[in-house]
Every structure is written in structure tokens, then in C-alpha cells.
Amino acid sequence: MSLSIALTKGRLEKQTVGMLEECGYGIESLKNKGRALVFPDSVYDIQYFLVKSNDCITYVEHGVADIGVVGKDTLLEGGKDYYEMLDLEIGKCKFIVASLPEIHLFSKVGHIKIGTKYPEVAKNYFLKKGMDVEIIKIDGSVELAPILGLCDGIVDIMETGTTLKENGLVVLDTVCDISARVIVNKASYKLKKEEVMKVISDLESMVKKNALSDQ
């Protein structure tokens, strides 16, 4: 049976394609892609498509993609109607809480405003802390918001820490680690189990191989 795999384009794309290639998948069309969005595998009966991270979940939940590769950040913020099968241990970064150093966010009295691209993650974090905050949704360059006074602090992704540092912000807490995950449509898991599990186990052996070579 044929498989459809949704890959998140952007930061995760190159490493995901690299892992598939190392597993022996025929991904030449993904490497020389131009403006195409759908790519046939030259070895297996698989088609890949490249989508934005939120859309990856949508395609998998609706069964248009049997399998998806997407960041844990997007999974924590989005829907839940899929199986999360594997941590690819690529695209590693973390969710952090940050602010300007002079804002004592956790001891601040009165109304607290938090800017973020990830309102669900931020809401759940502050709920667990027992803090009542106002969440302000921002679509990008989140570090700008506290500098301009839109909010007191942010919940955002940190990888190297350069963006925070260059904008004079300090990390106050880590919310959780993030990495790319493989998700599977629930019906595909039952109806195409053999094909789906082959992809998962091929990728899993690559994760193990990468972990060994990192030691």
C-alpha cells in the first residue's frame, strides 16, 4: 500500500531529508526541489510533501498524510488526534521564559503580560505556576515585544541563545525541551501498519546510529 509523508519545511527539512536518505529512501526529488511541493520516492511507493509545521498536524489528523515529521513545540500547541511514535532527536531547542533583567517577572505584583507565538504552552506553564497572566499572541520576532513594552516577559524557543542575548533578555526558566517527532494518523497505523512501522523502524535505527556517533 502506498504511503504519504508530510515533512515540515524550513529548519527541520534538511536534517529530516538527510535521515531518510541515509535509510535508503529515494529522496533525490526532495533534494533538487525547485518550487514543487509533492515529491515521489524513487525506491518505495511513497510520496512526500512539504508543509508548514501547523499544517503537518492537520494533514496527518485528516489522514491525507499517513506520517508527519514536526517539532514538539507545534505538537504541544496544536491538535492531539494522532499517535506520536518517535523522537528523531533533531531540531533540538527548548521553550524558555525570558524577560529584560530589570523585570522581576516571578515576583511582580499586579497585571503580568506574556508575549508568545505559543499561547497554549505559555498558558499551561503559568497555570502550573499558579500565576494569573495575560497572554498576548505574537507571530514572530517575539523578543521585540518586551523591549517595546508590549509585555513583561516572553515564552519562546531558544536554540543558541543568540537572539535573546543580542536583545538584552535573560532566561528565567526552561519550560521543556523540544525536538522533531514522527506522528502517525490513527487509521493509517491500523490499516497500513506494516508500511508505517517500516518507516518508523528505519528512522529509529538512524536515531540510534546518530546517538552512537555523537558519543
Ligand X SMILES: Nc1ncnc2c1ncn2[C@@H]1O[C@H](COP(=O)(O)OP(=O)(O)OP(=O)(O)O)[C@@H](O)[C@H]1O
Q: Is 161 in the site for ligand PRP (CB under 6 A)?
A: yes
CB atoms closer than 10 angstroms to residue 96: 20
Binding partner of residue 55 among ligand X, ligand PRP, none, CB under 5 to 8 Å per kind?
A: none
SS3 label, residue 164: helix
Query: What is the Cα–Cα distance from 191 to 129, expressed in whole angstroms?
Result: 42
Q: Helix, strand, coil: what percent of the chain each, to 5? A: 35, 30, 35
The DSSP bridge pattern shows strands 93-99 and 153-158 to be antiparallel
Q: Is 77 in the site for ligand PRP (CB under 6 A)?
A: no
Q: Is 53 in the site for ligand X (CB under 6 A)?
A: yes
Q: Is 137 in the site for ligand X (CB under 6 A)?
A: no
Binding partner of residue 178 among ligand X, ligand PRP, none, CB under 5 to 8 Å per kind?
A: ligand X
Whether residue 9 contacts residue 91, with contact meaning beta carbons closer than 8 Å, is answered with no
The one segment of 31-39, 135-143, 188-196, 202-210 that binds ligand PRP by CB under 6 A: 135-143
Closest approach of ligand PRP to the CB of residue 176, in Å? 15
Binding residues for ligand X (CB under 6 A): 8, 10-12, 52-53, 71, 73-74, 91, 93, 157, 159, 178
